[in-house]
Structure 1
């Protein structure tokens, strides 16, 4: 779908899973219709269903079919307002400031959206079994991420992000910030000099 039709720059749904889910839903409903018609006849089995029993079997089939069709709901949307992830039931909106990338773990069936503090959201809409469609969705998502994600800025010292996922730190006095190699605490000089870690 285009941006004009949906208001989103990117909308992704799983292709193969949706086809299999629709087939499964048709089979479930057909089996319940067949059971309601055949068991009505009775015969040598002694089963003699009334109309209300047939309606009950059909109602169960409708409920089960609806439950199966829930698996057609997964969707990923991305645009200027952020990222919206809907898996089977709930939908979650995430601003670009909280997005840390979209990745596939090794051997994972679907992608995951990385968030701050080692959190993530499964993205069932982008599945490994979709092959090139999944690769294309990842590339398009990363283009949007680079377009809408703005580097952090401040009014003085530099902001740096730790490679281990830790919080960014800012020095207010404009001095250099150095990391200590032995894991010790980072200390600030009171004389306005450089901030150094333990040697």
Structure 2
């Protein structure tokens, strides 16, 4: 493993699911918008063109919210790990990482930090099976390489 290696990982299955769901949401909201017509005689409600456009706009906003999940990623190199979750990004140097964990039954991997804190890595999900396992192994290898370069200097 070279010192300039960069590991970039993104979830696989959730991205496909999110894109499919986002398209479905836009289609459903568009169909609802086209079904909003003028008075039908069965109720007091009347719908204008603006209501139809608002419904389509609402569908687009929901789809954008769903697509926020596709932003998940983790990038690591010799200096540290950069994690982007749905809300928040974290830049953690290897000195602050005690372990890269992916416990049985966990939905995603995590970093065990020095201060007894834990940082979830949502980009490495159990649903991705071998892709996630390979990602955790790559992160562990980078962490081990960093530990080997630091330990001889401290001793």
Q: How far off is 1:73 after superposition?
A: 1.2
Q: Is 1:144 paired with 2:136?
A: no
**Change in 2 beyond 3 A, CA 1:41/1:34:** farther
Greater C-alpha radius of gyration: 1
Aligned length: 149
Report the counterpart of residue 89 of structure 1 in structure 2: 87
Q: SS in structure 2 opposite 1:101?
A: strand
Q: Distance in 1 between matches of 2:67 and 2:22?
A: 6
Structure number with greater CO (CA < 8 Å, separation at least 6) is 2
CA shift, 1:152, in A, is 6.7
Counterpart for residue 17 of structure 2 = 20
Q: Summarize the Cα distance change of 1:152–1:40 in structure 2 as closer, same or farther, 3 Å threshold.
A: farther
| Distance in 2 of aligned mates of 1:18 and 1:8 | 25
Match of 1:68 in 2: 66
Aligned with 1:108 (options 82, 106, 109): 106
TM-score, normalised relative to structure 1:
0.69
Alignment of 1:120-135 (within 5 A): 120-135=118-133
Q: After TM superposition, what 4+ stretches of structure 1 lie above 3 angstroms from structure 2?
A: 41-48
Q: CA deviation at 1:140?
A: 1.2
Which deviations, in whole Å up to 9, do the C-alpha atoms of 1:75-108 show, x marking residues without a partner? 1110133100111021000001111121112311
Report the aligned-residue RMSD. 1.9
Match of 2:48 in 1: 50
- TM-score using structure 2 length: 0.87
